[in-house]
Amino acid sequence: MTKSFAIVTMLLATTLAPARPSKVVIAHRGASAYAPENTLAAFRLAAEQKADYVEIDITFTRDGHLVVLHDDSLERTTNVEEVFPDRGQPAKAGSREQRWPVKDFTLEEVRRLNAGSWFDQRFAGERIPMFEEAVGAVTPHTGLLIELKAPDKEREAGRAMEPLVAEVLRARGLAGKPNDSRAPIIVQSFDEGGVRELAKLLPDVPRVLLFSPPAAPRWTSASGLKEVASFATGIGPNKDILDTDPQLVGRAHDLGLFVFAWTFRADSASERDAARAAMQRGLTTLGLDGVITDNPDLGRSK
């Protein structure tokens, strides 16, 4: 390769590559240690606490609308049992325990639910946000890390999330610009097929493959990581994976992948110092590009 060809190749790679975020604090489901997860109140607080991004989970309602919800059912984070007492389904065949799957409820029904009181009565007015509302909450200082929940199952059920996500982002002018050093939107999923689909539909939006410890051997091997780099621009390992494999960050960086680890949290006041220290160690010693945390206020060094 001639020197000038090498320089042109390098410049092209720099110009065309989606943004590589650096040292960001990401509020997991909003500032979810202090406000009900995945609500506008939690997103506002995350912005006040100077989070660089708010992480949200999105899923489908029965009538095909995207809403912001982590679980595939409504009972943990809403008052669905009171509002729709007769709509519960057995958690398992023959089980007396009941669940209220979100896929059984229309958007209008979902919007009637109180998504705040389970956390604290002062959040009684919170509703499950529509995806578009969450996208509308993006500010110049706080972007959105959007996790598509189980897009593989949705595809099997004959409806795809990825084109809808792409449509909403394009309509808002948030589908990305090459080499945007501070991308307002990043997308992610545990589902490889979903991330591959996003690569096709939103090539200029940074995209992360998430994985938990059971999937780590597959994705962190030399060949696995190389494969990830062919369709994603970042990885999102559970932070426990880095306890046994701290060199993963360097190996990912060598392939041009950024690394966000999850989930850092303080479950009580006595854990705050340790959570702050763990995030600092992650961002400095381990070289992480971002930490995903329930406590965005602890993500910055004092």
List 65, 70, 141, 253, catalytic entry: 70
Out of 43, 211, 262, 264, the only residue in the binding site for ligand G3P (CB under 6 A) is 262
Q: How far is the CB of 207 from ligand G3P (least distance, A)?
A: 13
SS3 labels along the chain: CCHHHHHHHHHHHHHHCCCCCCCEEEEECCCCCCCCCCCHHHHHHHHHCCCCEEEEEEEECCCCCEEECCCCECCCCCCHHHHCHHHCEECCCCCCCEECEHHHCCHHHHCCCCCCCCCCHHHCCCCCCEHHHHHHCCCCCCEEEEEECCHHHHHHCCCCCHHHHHHHHHHCCCCCCCCCCCCCEEEEECCHHHHHHHHHHCCCCCEEEEECHHHHHHHHCHHHHHHHHCCCCEEEEEHHHHHHCCCHHHHHHHCCCEEEEEEECCCCHHHHHHHHHHHHHHHCCCCCCEEEECCHHHCCCC
154 contributes a contact to ligand G3P by CB under 6 A: no
- Stretch 143-162 residues interacting with Ca ion (CB under 5 A): 147
Q: CB under 5 to 8 A by kind: which of Ca ion, ligand G3P, none does 117 bind?
A: none
- Stretch 117-146 residues interacting with ligand G3P (CB under 6 A): none
197 contributes a contact to Ca ion by CB under 5 A: no
Out of 147, 154, 162, 289, the only residue in the binding site for ligand G3P (CB under 6 A) is 147
Q: How far is the CB of 58 from ligand G3P (least distance, A)?
A: 11
Q: CB under 5 to 8 A by kind: which of ligand G3P, Ca ion, none does 79 bind?
A: none
- Stretch 77-96 residues interacting with Ca ion (CB under 5 A): none
Q: How far is the CB of 292 from ligand G3P (least distance, A)?
A: 5
Residue type, 275: A
Contact 24, 289 (CB under 8 A): yes
- Stretch 221-280 residues interacting with Ca ion (CB under 5 A): none
**What is the rounded CA–CA span in Å between residue 45 and residue 40?**
9
Q: CB under 5 to 8 A by kind: which of ligand G3P, Ca ion, none does 37 bind?
A: none
Residue 253 is a catalytic residue: no
55 contributes a contact to ligand G3P by CB under 6 A: yes
232 contributes a contact to ligand G3P by CB under 6 A: no
Out of 25, 26, 37, 57, the only residue in the binding site for Ca ion (CB under 5 A) is 57
28 contributes a contact to ligand G3P by CB under 6 A: yes
Residues that bind ligand G3P (CB under 6 A): 28, 55, 57, 70, 147, 210, 236, 262-263, 292
Q: Which amino acids are annotated catalytic? A: 28, 70
Residues that bind Ca ion (CB under 5 A): 57, 147
